[in-house]
Structure formats: C-alpha cells, structure tokens
Amino acid sequence: MAGQTHPEVTVGALIFNPENKLFLMRSHKWKNNFVVPGGHIELGETIEQALRREVKEETGMDIYEIAFIHVQESIFSDMFWKQKHFIFLDFACKTDSTEVKLNDEASEYVWVFPGEALKLPIDPCTRFFIEKCMEMKTCQS
C-alpha cells in the first residue's frame, strides 16, 4: 500500500493452445497459486502491446486472436505478495508456440482444459476469469 497513489492497470491472458488447453503458471507473487501471465501497462504502451509484451516476457510465447473478456479489480488483497489496488483487463488468446520459457516470476506451468484448471490451486481473480470465459463460451470446459 505504501507509495501507491492510484490503482495499477494491468493485463492478463488466458492462453489457449491448438488443443484448447489453457496455460497456467505457478507464481510466488500469488502465494504459489496458478495464475495467468500478465502485468502492468507501461506509459505510452497500448493495452495490446502490453499484453503481448507481458506474455512474451513471462512465457516466451507469441499470441494471436486476442479477445477482451472483462474487467475486474483487486483492492489490497492478501493474495498478492504486496498489497496493491489493481485493475485487471482480462483477455483470451491463442498460441501455436510449443516451447515455454518461464521467467523468474513462475516456477512451473501446466496446460489443462478450463474445467480442470478450476480444480487447481488458483487465486480468486484467476478463478473468476476462467469461469467468466467459460460462461461466455469463449473457452470450452
């Protein structure tokens, strides 16, 4: 909370491979839960540029067919390693990448169908994101 003067606007990506499996990564920043790749939007960067950059930095993957899913926020949640006020812009997208190169924000990753993802240890915002995507029929169970 200290030092934050306004909400941090971030992007997140539900990434699907050609088998319609969803990519999730385990992050120490989110209490070792599985989450989607994403992060803040830099000044002068478009939302789509930020999404592509964050995915590439965190996973090494390129994405396409980007579709907006919804907005949600997290206000000083104890699920994140620092208490912050976030506004999440959540997107679904596809990748044909077969190789994943995690950066230091993640310790492991999985490819699972969305319904299976809900059985994993995931943070509440990621759970809501997946459920919303399934509800919209953007992703299949």
Domain segments of the chain as ranges: 8-135
108 catalytic per annotation: yes
| Whole-number Å distance between alpha carbons of 119 and 141 | 12
Q: Which of 42, 73, 108, 135 is catalytic?
A: 108
b/e per residue, 73-106, with b = 16+ CB within 10 A?
ebeeeeebeeebebebbbbbbbbebeebebeebb
Q: Is the pTM of this model over 0.75?
A: yes
* Helices of type H across the chain: 47-59, 114-117, 124-135
Fold of 8-135: Nucleoside Triphosphate Pyrophosphohydrolase (3.90.79)
- Note the pLDDT tens digit of each residue in 77-136: 665 556 778 788 999 999 999 899 999 989 999 999 999 999 999 988 899 889 988 888
| Residue in the structure block whose two tokens are 């980007």 | 66
Which pLDDT tens digit goes with each residue over 10-26?
999 999 999 999 999 99
